[in-house]
Structure 1
Amino acid sequence: MIILPAIDIRGGQCVRLYKGDFSTAHKVADDPMETAHRFHKAGAKWLHMVDLDGAKEGSPKNRDLFLQIAEKSGMKVELGGGIRDMETVEFYLTHGISRVILGSAAIRDPDFVKKAAKKWGKHIAVGIDARNEMVAAQGWVQTSDVHYIDLARQMEQAGVQCIIFTDISRDGTLSGPNLEQLSALNEAVSCDIIASGGIRDIDDIRQLKAMNLYGTICGKSLYEGTLDLGKAAKEAKA
């Protein structure tokens, strides 16, 4: 299993949200590049990044920063937020980003996701963010009438190889991941599953690894100090 430390960007700064609520955004680190280097030094091979401005507005907003970190951090970068057309996908994937995350587009434009997955394969991930098991979109502002398992199956049929699942009610809470929903998802599809939301400590890492997930994203736990990234990375590889 891989550990992906998270850096969420709003207005060029590292921030974290509570349950996806933009009004709760608070700065957690002074410098995104310095934070990325620290994560790399601790043993991370991948970095999960989100353009929060892009997610809310529907188009890339902090592009240069993401490209700089992909070039200079020493890690592979997966990036989501505001990536809703093929032009943006191709720009990022040809300028150093290793994997792009499509979120709202999975509901709004499944044909686009299918075309992206066909062309770019493992470099495309779909982010499925759920509130009470129903998929949310537009930077988590809107909740759809689509069940997360149903969307995952649709994405698998479209050729998507990687799904990032977030239980919004756990995100930023340090209350532990939703093991039940993650297990159901992992059994429902053959895609690589990355767990996101609620990870608190090394015990959570052990439980997720035991489920044979592909990866897990850690954010607040690293900034609050409830999880040691170096230990988590070793545990995930063991």
Structure 2
Amino acid sequence: MGLKSFIIPAVDIKDGKAVRLFKGDPDAVTVYGDNPVEIAKQWEEKGAKHLHIVDLDGAFEGKPKNYKIVQQIVKEISIPVEFGGGLRSFEAVKAMINIGVERVVIGSLAYQNEKEFLKIVNAFPEKVIVGIDAKDGKVAIKGWLEKTEFTPLEFAKRFDELDIWGFLYTDVNRDGAMVGPNVEGTKYLAQNLKHPVIASGGVGSIEDVKKLYQLKEFGVYGVVVGKALYEGKIKLEELED
């Protein structure tokens, strides 16, 4: 797997538009396009092997709000889609799997309602990615607005024996800031878990991607990249598969 396959482009949807937030702040929004479907197709054309879609409205409101846009994206592209944002019930997850989403990212629900979370994992084995959003060394939930008492590893260990796909580790303090990813934190998690880890947050250059790529042997599967792709700091079409 080359660098191109390692990068998972992010399509974050807010108010029907493709956007990026700065450090998880819902008021610090940059709009990159009015049509998330076209942007998703663009990343596929440039060689992306899978996509990471986030419903930001859903993350803040507790249930998916941009269902029809996600449905259209899945219909119009042929690469796998992982989706997160507001998946706080079995029914919400089922609806996404039914429209063809390959994997779902669940964070808040895993913390708040383990019974419902286990029901989802049992119904959809190897389809669930546990979202670990870290803020100042602790896991944050509810669209990053509320901090828990768990460190990322403590939180992840609760689910590592389950039939999940793996983990998505986001350093919220770096997200959308292009200040470099949390390489050590990502490595530490991956080394101590059985399931793969996807990194997220802070990537600003191809050098940042290469640092994470070197952690593949420890179980780092890929990296979600948003702003650096949208602003041309990383050009997907120029990378090798």
Q: TM-score range by the shorter chain?
A: over 0.9
Counterpart of 1:209 (choices 204, 208, 213) is 213
Alignment of 1:26-175 (within 5 A): 26-175=30-179
Paired amino acid for 2:117:
V
TM-score by length of 1: 0.94
For 1:122, the aligned partner's letter is E
Q: Take 1:170 and 1:95, find their aligned partners in 2: how far apart are those partners?
A: 32
Tell me if the contact between 1:40 and 1:75 (Cα under 8 Å) persists in the aligned partners. Answer: yes
Q: Which amino acid aligns with 1:230?
A: E
Q: For 1:132 and 1:112, locate their aligned partners in 2 and report how far apart those are by CA, in whole Å.
A: 28
**Counterpart residue type for residue 153 of structure 2:** I
SS of residue in 1 equivalent to 2:179: coil
User: Deviations for 1:59-109, whole angstroms, at most 9, x for unmatched residues?
Assistant: 110100001001102221111001111111111111111111101111101
Give me the CA root mean square deviation.
1.2
Percentage identity across paired residues of the two chains: 37
Q: Give the drift of 1:224.
A: 1.2
Displacement after TM superposition at 1:216 (Å): 0.7
Residue identity in the other structure for 1:66: V
The separation in 2 between residues aligned to 1:231 and 1:99, in whole angstroms, is: 27
Deviation per CA, 1:147-180: give whole Å up to 9, x if none.
Answer: 1100111111333231000001110011111001
Structure 1, gaps ≥5 residues long = none
Q: What is the rounded CA distance, in whole Å, between the counterparts of 2:164 and 2:43 in structure 1? A: 28
Equivalent residues of 1:114, 1:160 under 8 A apart? no
Aligned: 1:16 with 2:20: yes
**Cα distance in 1, alignment partners of residues 118 and 160 from structure 2:** 9
**How many correspondences in the alignment?**
234
Give the drift of 1:230: 2.3
User: Aligned-pair distance for 1:25?
Assistant: 1.4
Unpaired stretches in structure 2, ≥5 consecutive residues: none
Determine which of 193, 209, 231 is the counterpart of 1:224: 231
Give yes or no for contact 2:126–2:163 (8 Å, CA) kept in 1. no
TM-score, normalised via structure 2 length: 0.93
Distance (whole Å) between structure 2 residues aligned to residue 111 and residue 133 of structure 1: 26
* Residue 203 of structure 1: how far off its partner (Å): 1.2
DSSP 3-state at the match of 1:121: coil
